[in-house]
Structure 1
Amino acid sequence: MAYFGTIQVGNPPQEFSVVFDTGSGNLIVPGSDCASDACTSHRRFDHRKSGGINPINCDGSNVSHGMLPDEITITFGTGKITGQCFTDSICVGAACSKGNFISSLDESYTPFATFSFDGVLGLALDSMAQSNEFSVMSRLHGAGVLKQPLFSVFLSDSDEEKSEITFGAIKQEHMASELYWVNVVGDAGYWQVEIQDIYLGEHPQKLCQGCRVAVDTGTSELAGPSDIIAKLEQLLGSGHDCSNIDALPKLGFAVRGPNGKPKILSLSPKDYTSEGSFGGCNLSLMNLDVPPPKGPLFVFGIPFLQKYFTVYDHENSRAWSLAASPYCASPARDLKRPERCRGSVPLPSLLQHLGA
């Protein structure tokens, strides 16, 4: 499952559907010179049709006279892309600025050919991007087209509600409580915060103290250290057929706020369990073993984001979250919720950046 929306690149603008991905840092769209199946099955950016295009090297430097621009290869665990870099106009809704991006020359069939969307717009912190000029948030903020240097994400779990990403503002109608600030930790560029403990109901378990959790809009799953997941499975005993799901406790993660006091973010049994394809009841957490200093690490994807409205303060490297409201007002930027891609899940970006 993925949530995606539209952006425009070039002048005159060419439209693309992209995943707004907090687990990566660059804008990547298929290029017209890419002949692989993963590109030809999607809309491709034609740099020859843009009057404002400027080829650059992928470190952001200008191309020397008489030289060709260099190329870049980015690996995504199960696949990779090779592309060229350009500077051109990038528009997210009505917010536009000049910015650097990657136009694919080749994309591996797996996983890119199976996606319903064309590309990826990375919204991680600047250290995740090739440079600040490749960070769309930095360029929009620098151009003065955002009221505030932040964005917020509301993901609906119902086809009756429209999901929304808002740039430069926080829509109050999505808030069911006051904002709770959480400081981002580490310098890898992920929107990750510190976990103080894991709770079952109201009871702390003294599991994974000092762990971190990264919130990733490009990941369709929840993931965590395999040893912690094994302990949770033993403690929860979710049952072979999910028959006792209503009796299971909430699964809570206590995150450290700016005053040092914990805030427990809870998932209901229906959020963290699922019925397997061949029957049976499973804990909906993938194994993800990230060694120190980056780990131990949990990754919260779509199941968490469907429950909590999240805001990302790009300038101050702060994120905070709260329970989403049960309704969604008319959004300024709609995100489409497609069917599952051929029975699989879309690119789990952060998991693949971490080599999982």
Structure 2
Amino acid sequence: MALLMQCWVCVITLSLTMTTSHALQRISLKKMPSIRETLHEMGVSPAQLFAELAQKSKDDLSPSNGTAPTPLTNYLDTQYYGEISIGSPAQMFNVVFDTGSANLWVPSYSCSPLYTACFTHNRYDGSKSRTHIKNGTGFSIQYASGNVRGFLSEDVVVVGGIPVVQVFAEATALPAIPFIFAKFDGVLGMGYPNVAIDGITPVFDRIMSQHVLKEEVFSVYYSKDPMHKPGGELVMGGTDPEYYTGTFNYMGTSETGKWEVSMKGVTVGEDMLFCKEGCTAVIDTGSSYITGPASSVSVLMKTIGATELAEGGYTVNCDLVKSLPSVTFHLGGHEYSLTEDDYILWQSQFGEDICSVTFRGLDVPPPTGPIWILGANFIARYYTEFDRRNNRIGFATAV
């Protein structure tokens, strides 16, 4: 069976190489309501729902069984998902392309009925794939709300038209909170191999090994236009000039094997208020908002006159939005500013305008933290290239 699958993939890959060698491969990204927005629509308070889980996260932040927990907030505000297929014939899944992790997991058809979240999503059924190879090794990712557990399998995964033979996880235990509210099925990690659980080779590394990409890079574009279809695009092999103006500015990753860079300060208006002695900034496609140390974000919110909501998050008076200061991140000798248009989200609730601030407080303890996480609202302003070959990240002003 393994030999049959390898032969099948070789044929497909050879065909792809002959027609698209050194080409850009694209995955359309759809923008959907985040888990937090879904909870609001249901009248459920995220703060109440996650208060105990947040405390549990603080208590459990030491690695367990070689697996460090991923903060729950990573996917609370995620809005962008792309489609991949697994197996033959193809079984389709919406996944978050997450630079903060390096494994691929999707819900399994073998998921227990006790885990309701499995049954609100597409599930992989290995028995229906002629290229499925059983592995069976146990798998676990620790989240603040509990573990995503399951077992490993191997099959053909197609991303952006490129097929690879990939080991991935079938999730058989999926915490209801928060995944029952998620619009995505699973997660495809775009991180480095050294952060992959169980030493599994990541999907993007498999793709690079086929030498079908123009360059060993991928770039992420998120449209700022809510009416734009699709909501964004993941481009493998390079960048698309139609998505930016000017040139890219590059800076090396601060730690080999992680999509993070050294930041030299955060300025609000004309005043540098945070990270004066330098800090770490993680460039995270798995988060829609910007997070920083809770104390720093609290000061920032007071500076712009924001009000904290009982259910979590911050709002400002919509009449004052145009007078809000810019927030500037100092990265690699360049300044990357977000205006009020970039960090204020206009929403309507019960017929009234609500202006939400897209900053969140998140304390990550040493040695990993404290950190700032620059998510989708930063990437929407600055088209971002992730360069694996040169271990660097590039930013250009998005159009």
User: 2:217–2:388: 8 Å Cα contact kept in structure 1?
Assistant: yes
1:80 aligns with 2:131: no
Relative to its length, the structure with more helix (as a share) is 2
1:129 aligns with 2:205: no
Give the one of 325, 333, 347 matched to 1:249: 325
The offset of 1:275, in angstroms, is 6.9
Structure 1 residues 79 and 322: alpha-carbon distance in aligned structure 2, compared to 1, 3 A threshold = farther
Which string of whole-angstrom CA distances, capped at 9 and with x for unpartnered residues, describes residues 79-120 of structure 1?
431111122211102111112110111211111121122111
1:264 aligns with 2:343: no
Mapping 1:109-124, distance limit 5 Å: 109-124=176-191
Give the one of 279, 290, 293 matched to 1:225: 293
Residues of 2 paired with 1:282 and 1:29: CA distance? 32
SS state at 2:156 partner:
strand
Give the one of 70, 95, 118 matched to 1:39: 118
1:12 aligns with 2:83: no
Mapping 1:1-356, distance limit 5 Å: 1=34, 2-35=79-112, 36-56=115-135, 69-130=136-197, 133-157=200-224, 158-162=226-230, 163-187=232-256, 189-205=257-273, 207-237=275-305, 241-256=317-332, 262-273=333-344, 283-325=357-399
The offset of 1:206, in angstroms, is 5.8
Give the match for residue 343 of structure 1. none
The offset of 1:75, in angstroms, is 1.7
Residues of 1 paired with 2:158 and 2:101: CA distance? 18
Residues of 2 paired with 1:30 and 1:238: CA distance? 39
The offset of 1:274, in angstroms, is 5.0
The offset of 1:283, in angstroms, is 4.3
Give the match for residue 345 of structure 1. none
Structure 2 gaps of 5+ residues are: 1-33, 35-78, 308-315
Structure 1 residues 201 and 115: alpha-carbon distance in aligned structure 2, compared to 1, 3 A threshold = same
The offset of 1:13, in angstroms, is 2.2
User: 2:264–2:278: 8 Å Cα contact kept in structure 1?
Assistant: yes
Which string of whole-angstrom CA distances, capped at 9 and with x for unpartnered residues, describes residues 294-340 of structure 1?
22201112221221211111233211112111xxxxxxxxxxxxxxx
Structure 1 residues 79 and 155: alpha-carbon distance in aligned structure 2, compared to 1, 3 A threshold = farther
Choose 158-167 or 204-213, whichever is displaced more.
204-213
The offset of 1:280, in angstroms, is 7.7
SS state at 1:311 partner:
strand
* TM-score of the superposed pair, with normalisation by structure 2: 0.71
Which string of whole-angstrom CA distances, capped at 9 and with x for unpartnered residues, describes residues 333-355 of structure 1?
xxxxxxxxxxxxxxxxxxxxxxx
Which string of whole-angstrom CA distances, capped at 9 and with x for unpartnered residues, describes residues 165-189 of structure 1?
11112111112120110111125x4
User: 1:27–1:134: 8 Å Cα contact kept in structure 2?
Assistant: no
